[in-house]
Structure 1
Amino acid sequence: MMRSLWTAASGMAGQQFTVDTIANNLANVNTAGFKKSRVDFQDLLYQTIRFAGTAVTAGAEIPTGIQVGHGVRPVATVKIFSQGTFRETNNPLDLVIEGDGFFQVLLPDGTIAYTRDGSFKKDSDGRIVTSDGFVLEPEIIIPSDAIELSVGADGTVSVVMVNDSEPQEIGRIELARFVNPAGLRNYGRNLFLATGASGPPIVGQPGLDGFGAIAQGHLEMSNVEVVEEMVNLIMAQRAYDANSKAIQASDDMLQSANNLRR
């Protein structure tokens, strides 16, 4: 069996994986806080038929060897954490991080998850939560008689109460960042989980020690560039077609060999 069949098949599978990744990026083009992914590839093992440097006669050696590759495989899907565009909403519970950092969210099992999606809501107890009801960590409860909510660039949350003109501080938002954010695991629901590759979370105050400041009344949109993804899609499709042509050529060669007569 010709090795080119399997080599080209690995290329087709790799480009299909690329198209799947691009499709997910495009599907989330309007998802708040979404970060696009990129596929990295790696060539497979090589079969060495002749080693370079092999001596042929006294004082002479082969300058180049003969190696044949066996295709390609996806080796990583890298999250690109570049800043997305900001959209003004004038909603006091819509928050955006101007720079590095993640909001912390408490999952029902007690695990802390991390997100760039700042489209927060208020539940029946007055707690600031995500769209799925996961509580912002540390917990901040907005009093039922509050008539105005303000979030400062440093994460300070203040409210103005009924019959009171002076704002009162009710809590402070803390952010987390990671040495290697690309090592975070996608949890879905616009959330990430820490892993050994990402390193432990570094928690701090917005606007200090490398953390981004918080802007109220804005949302960070997806960092997906539609034009860029469409170009990548065309490239992946052409590469898929080229690999299919290699399989077709190998099949034609095998057919010619089978049709040989003595």
Structure 2
Amino acid sequence: MAILALHSASSGLSSLSTKLDVVANNLANMNTGGFKASRVNFEDLLYQQKAQPGVENAAGTTRPHGIQVGLGTRVSGTQIDFTKGQPTADTGKFAVAIDGEGFFRVKIVDGLSRDGFGYTRSGNFVLNSERELVLGTSEGPRLEPPVQVPDEYDSVEIKPTGQVVFRNQNGVEVGSAEIQMFQFPNASGVKQIGGNIYVETDASGATFEGTPGEGSFGKLLHGFLEGSNVNPTNELIDLITTQRAFELNSQTIQAADETLQVISNLRR
């Protein structure tokens, strides 16, 4: 019956609307440093089994196939693409990009995560009032472990291995610190809370710590920031195909409606 077509097409419209929202968010964050694009995954729904495959028929043979009518689609999840964004040179004294895998850890507001920490790929660090390195966002979460900047420093060097060296005007070292990095067993399972920050979940697993440049951890690039990994061309193609699929589903609803109208007019 056309009723099934109505419901299937309706599920398609709802799912495609979600994909449109995700594509729009990706395009909106084309210039957001360290942003990672998301993609939408779909799955089909239950099927009406009108005839089972393999069942013996009246002739004593088995059916080579059945009659199965699907009931539509739904969004199975959104998957974050953690491919590296293009690093670009930056004049910030504490700007740093990750060349490879890994996250910086920052202290966030209690209640937003189960361990009190957030994780980010963005490295636009600045100083707060207590001369600690914080993320240059509206919230300004502090880098963890903390990096304290001495008063008498004139220049800073962040080495690929995460060692931070502060020097005075004479080039004499006046302090040092270390930037540690973190990874998830399953980075796709993290939860996004905004501000370029992710928090761990049961799906992501607990983070593990490492030194930049060692093992699977990427090295640090001082004087660079990682750009967004959004590919505008791919997103626009996704936008077009999503719009066309939306139109086709709306036409399916129109066709089902016309079919029901024909059936309702049979009595006349």
Q: Give the equivalent residue in structure 2 for 1:142.
A: 149
Contact 1:5 1:247 in 2 (8 A): yes
Q: Give the equivalent residue in structure 2 for 1:117.
A: 122
Percent identical residues = 38
Greater Cα offset, 108-117 or 171-180:
108-117
126, 134, 148: which one aligns with 1:129: 134
Q: CA RMSD in A?
A: 1.3
Rounded to whole Å, the distance in 1 between the matches of 2:27 and 2:175 is 41
Contact 1:185 1:194 in 2 (8 A): yes
Q: Give the equivalent residue in structure 2 for 1:69.
A: 70
Superimposed CA distance per residue, residues 151-190 of structure 1 (whole angstroms, 9 cap, x where no aligned partner): 111010111125x432244210000011210001001111
1:58, CA displacement in angstroms? 5.9
SS of 2:32's equivalent? coil
2:3 matches 1:2: yes
* Structure 2, gaps ≥5 residues long: none
Rounded to whole Å, the distance in 1 between the matches of 2:80 and 2:219 is 22
Which aligned pairs between 1:1-262 and structure 2 lie closer than 5 A?
A: 2-57=3-58, 59-109=60-110, 111-131=116-136, 132-162=139-169, 164-261=170-267
Rounded to whole Å, the distance in 2 between the matches of 1:18 and 1:133 is 31
1:90, CA displacement in angstroms? 2.6
Contact 1:87 1:219 in 2 (8 A): yes
Superimposed CA distance per residue, residues 168-227 of structure 1 (whole angstroms, 9 cap, x where no aligned partner): 442100000112100010011110001111111110110001110001111001000111
Equivalent residue letter for 1:120 = F
Equivalent residue letter for 1:157 = V
SS of 1:60's equivalent? coil
Rounded to whole Å, the distance in 2 between the matches of 1:56 and 1:260 is 34
Contact 2:84 2:100 in 1 (8 A): yes
Rounded to whole Å, the distance in 1 between the matches of 2:217 and 2:103 is 9
1:62, CA displacement in angstroms? 1.6
Q: Give the direction of change, closer, same or farther, for the CA distance of 1:192–1:254 in structure 2 (3 Å limit).
A: same
1:256, CA displacement in angstroms? 1.1
TM-score (normalised: structure 2): 0.94
Greater Cα offset, 109-118 or 175-184:
109-118
Contact 2:26 2:37 in 1 (8 A): yes
Contact 2:79 2:188 in 1 (8 A): yes
TM-score (normalised: structure 1): 0.96
1:59, CA displacement in angstroms? 3.6
Rounded to whole Å, the distance in 2 between the matches of 1:56 and 1:208 is 65
Equivalent residue letter for 1:143 = P
Equivalent residue letter for 2:207 = P
Rounded to whole Å, the distance in 2 between the matches of 1:117 and 1:226 is 20
Contact 1:156 1:169 in 2 (8 A): no
SS of 1:56's equivalent? coil
User: Deviating runs (4+, > 3 A) in structure 1?
Assistant: none
Contact 2:153 2:174 in 1 (8 A): no
